[in-house]
Amino acid sequence: MIRLSANVDKVATLRQSRGDSEPDPVVAAALCEQAGVEGITFHLRSDRRHIQDRDVDLLAQMAKTELNFEMAATEEMIARALAVRPAQCTLVPERDGEVTTEDGVDVLANRAALSEVIPRLKEAGMRVSIFSRLDADQIRAAKEVGADRVELFTGPYALARTSSEQDREFGRLSDAAKWAEKWGLGLNAGHGLDVRNLRRVATIPNLMEVSIGQSLWARAVFIGLERAVGELLAVLRER
Ligand code: PXP
C-alpha cells in the first residue's frame, strides 16, 4: 500500500497572508485524516513563513496518523523534532528566497553533518528520510549517512509537458527507485504530484509514501477536501 501524507503548509500560507487565525492547518490536518489520509506532512521553515511553532505543537498532540516533519538539518529544527517526536523527519535543503523546495539535499557535500544529525534523530525513535536528488551516488550516500528512506524529488517529472519529457523524467525516477531498493532504503516521493501525474508514479513497485500539498488544496477549493483526498486515494489504491 502506498500511504498518502497530506502536506498542510499551503493552509498555513493562506492564514499567514492575513496574519489571522484562519484557515487553521491543524483543523485541515484533522479533516484530511477524516477523509482517509494516512499521514500529515508539515515543513517548519526557519523563517516561519507558513507553519508556526504552535501548529507543530498542536499537530503533535492531535494527529491520529503519522506525522512527517520536513526540516532543514539545523540545531533549531533538531531540537523541535526531538521535542515533538514525529514518526518521520524528512531532511530538506532550505535556500534563501526560494518559493518552495527546489531540489534534493546534496548528501555528498553534507556527508559529515548528516552523519552526525541522523543518528540523533533515529536514537530518539524517529524514522529519517532525505529529500533526494535522483543520482546513484547521492542515494548511496543517503544510505551511508544512516537514512532509513529517501524521498524522490518528483518536481521535474511533474513539470514535464511533452510525453518524451515525461518519459525521460519518469525514467530518472524509476532508476532512482531501483538504486534505493539496491541500497536497502525505503522509498517516498513528492513535489508537484497531482491526481493525473500520480498514476504513473504509483506504479513504482517499492514506493511506500507520497506527500502531496499544492494540488490537494488547489482541487479542494473547487471540489471539496473529501473528494480531493478521495481521488488521490483512489489512484493510489489502483495499484
Ligand atoms: N516533499 C517535499 C520535500 C516538499 O518540500 C514539498 C513541498 O512542500 C512536497 C513534498 C509537496 O509538494 P507539493 O506541495 O507540490 O505537493
pTM, to two decimals: 0.97
Cis bond before residue 23 (omega within 30° of 0)? yes
Atom of ligand 1 nearest to the CA of 158: 15
Domains of the chain: 3-236 (3.20.20.70)
pLDDT tens digits for range 171-205: 999 999 999 999 999 999 999 999 999 999 999 99
Atom of ligand 1 nearest to the CA of 192: 15
In angstroms, the CA 228 to CA 220 distance is 5
- What interhelical angle do 214-223 and 9-18 show, nearest 10? 70
Looking at the chain, the whole-number percentage of residues with pLDDT higher than 90 is 95
pLDDT score of 109 more than 90: yes
Between strands 127-132 and 207-212, the pairing is unpaired
Catalogue the active-site residues.
43, 70, 191
Q: pLDDT value at position 146?
A: 98
Confidence of residue 225 (pLDDT cuts 50, 70, 90): very high
Confidence of residue 101 (pLDDT cuts 50, 70, 90): confident
To test ligand 1's pocket by mutation, which of 211, 214, 232 has the most ligand atoms within 8 angstroms of CB?
211
Q: Which residues are within 8 A (CB) of 212 and not within 5 positions of it... i.e. 6 or more apart?
A: 4, 5, 6, 7, 190, 193, 194, 198, 232
pLDDT tens digits for range 123-162: 999 999 999 999 999 999 999 999 999 999 999 999 999 9
What Cα–Cα distance (Å) separates residue 58 from each residue in 24, 101, 138, 214?
11, 24, 34, 22
Atom of ligand 1 nearest to the CA of 190: 10
Calculate mean pLDDT across residues 93-105.
82
Quote the ligand 1 centre to 153 CA distance (angstroms).
9
- Unique residue bearing C-alpha cell 557535500: 109
Set of cell numbers at residue 136: 546513484
Confidence of residue 100 (pLDDT cuts 50, 70, 90): confident
